[in-house]
Structure 1
Amino acid sequence: MKTAQVLAASVLAFALAGLAGPAMAADEPDPEGVEVSVTIEPLRVPGTLSMTVADNSGVTLTESGSDAAARQFTGTLPTVTVTDTRLPDEIPDGEFWAVTGQSSQLVATGDPAKTIDPKYLGWTPHLLSDTTTGAVAAGEPVSSALSDGTDAPTEGLTGQELLVSIANSTEEIGTHQVNADLALRTPVEVAAGEYHSTLTLSLFDQS
């Protein structure tokens, strides 16, 4: 009970002290006051590293370049864009990224027993954006398991690079575009049919 009384008296004394002071105009600054100011900057939105593929209805390969060694079917991969909006301090030292492509097995419509191994599908990537720093480059050409006569590795699309950053820091920041010439080279005795597969493109951020 004593504590409650002391608190009440203290509050009352404070209120009376305010009433007893000299009158002050509403617009006069308090001679003993301290002005407080603050500038609040907009929230910083972290940058991102992202990949998009141009609108498309798929790629239809048509026969072109067949010879006695193989039947060949070609087409063009839709444009792939990698956008890096991060600030320099958001990119860890030594970090780089890569876009890779991996094809599923080609399966004949209506006859799943007829297939073509993805090792027969290759590509030749082409850098479309102007990157004068050399920080981003198109991946190396990859041939079908049936060589196309070039020095390209005959690996097929089993996880090969389409676009890769070859440096870290600010040189990677920006927008980078790439596409690729696709070439399916099959044995000449490949079974006739309409085949379909999925080419999966993935963006990996690595260090």
Structure 2
Amino acid sequence: MARSKAVRLAAVSAIGVLLAGVSTGVAWGDEPNSQSGIDVSVDIDEISTPGQVTLTVDANQGVALTENGSDAAARQFTGVTPSVTVTDSRQPDEIPAGDFWAVVGQASDFTASGDPTASIGAQYLGWTPHLLSGSSTGSVEAGEPVSSVISDGTTAPTVGLTGQELLVSTANSADEIGSWQVNADLILRTPVDVPAGEYHSTLTLSLFDQS
């Protein structure tokens, strides 16, 4: 029995030596017998950014209206807005059927510096938009004229800058894609007895894109 036990121990020891030999790895020479390379390539596309409709206003210091054309019915003050640009960078397949956009102007009431109780309502301010860059298909148009609540004798369909279109596309924006510029002649007609002072208003332009 003692001999048999001794043999089993020797076998275990031999296996241990064999495993130790495998773990040492192979020592390769400095120069290979031959070499071959595998080309690895990748084609990376540019990141595709969806197009969009954007609104920008030329740098400006504001619009200072000056008295021009006053008459017995009203004091009249005029000026011109900076150029406004709308750019549609979408591809036709990105534009839903029936999509359209519009730039809408909303004026706040004029308030007097140093006297917030003195004001001139936004309904006294009107404008006449002008398309400065051509529309190749007629699918982009300047908004309609807007008159002051105190008429200057012209016929305008709406009164007062209380949410009126400056620039608008037709009911299918895909008909024409690009950039357009517009500005507007401003006209403020106040009562003849308006209190003297420096008045300020904010004309907010908003771009709406709907389908």
Q: TM-score range by the shorter chain?
A: 0.7 to 0.9
Deviates more, 1:70-79 or 1:42-51: 42-51
- CA 1:169–1:37: 2 relative to 1, 3 Å: farther
Give the match for residue 50 of structure 1.
54
Using the alignment, how far apart are the partners of 1:129 and 1:86 within structure 2? Answer: 19
Aligned to 1:184: 188
Q: Which digits, 9 at most, give the CA deviation of each residue in 1:132-179, with x for residues without a partner? A: 210100000000001121111351000000000014243331001000
**Deviation at residue 41 of structure 1 after TM alignment:** 2.4
> Aligned residue for 1:14?
none
Q: Which has the larger radius of gyration?
A: 2
3-state SS, counterpart of residue 63 of structure 2? coil
Q: Which residue of 1 aligns with 2:175?
A: 171
TM-score by length of 1: 0.81
Q: Deviations over 1:20-55 (max 9, x none)?
A: xxxx954399xxxxx997644222111121000000
Find the counterpart in structure 2 of residue 27 from structure 1.
36
1:159 is aligned, of 158, 163, 166, to: 163
CA distance in 1, matches of 2:173, 2:34: 60
Number of the residue aligned with 1:5: none
| CA–CA separation in structure 2 for the residues paired with 1:154 and 1:39 | 57
* Aligned pair partner of 2:82 in 78, 103, 125: 78
**Count of residues paired in the alignment:** 181
1:89 to 64, 89, 93: 93
Root-mean-square deviation over aligned CA pairs: 2.1
Give TM-score scaled by structure 2 length: 0.80
Cα gap change, 1:186/1:153 in structure 2, threshold over 3 Å: closer, same or farther?
farther
What runs of 5+ residues in structure 1 fail to find an aligned partner?
1-23, 30-34
User: Which consecutive unaligned segments of at least 5 residues does structure 2 have?
Assistant: 1-32
1:55-204 to 2 correspondences below 5 Å = 55-204=59-208
Q: Deviations over 1:52-85 (max 9, x none)?
A: 0000000000000111111100000100000111
Identity %: 68
Which residue type is aligned with residue 86 of structure 1? R
The reply on whether 1:206 has 2:207 as its aligned counterpart is no
Q: Any idea what SS the aligned residue of 1:119 has?
A: helix
Q: What secondary structure, in the 3-state scheme, does the structure 1 residue paired with 2:175 have? A: helix
Which stretch of structure 1 is more off in the superposition, 166-175 or 69-78?
A: 166-175
2:151 counterpart letter in structure 1: S
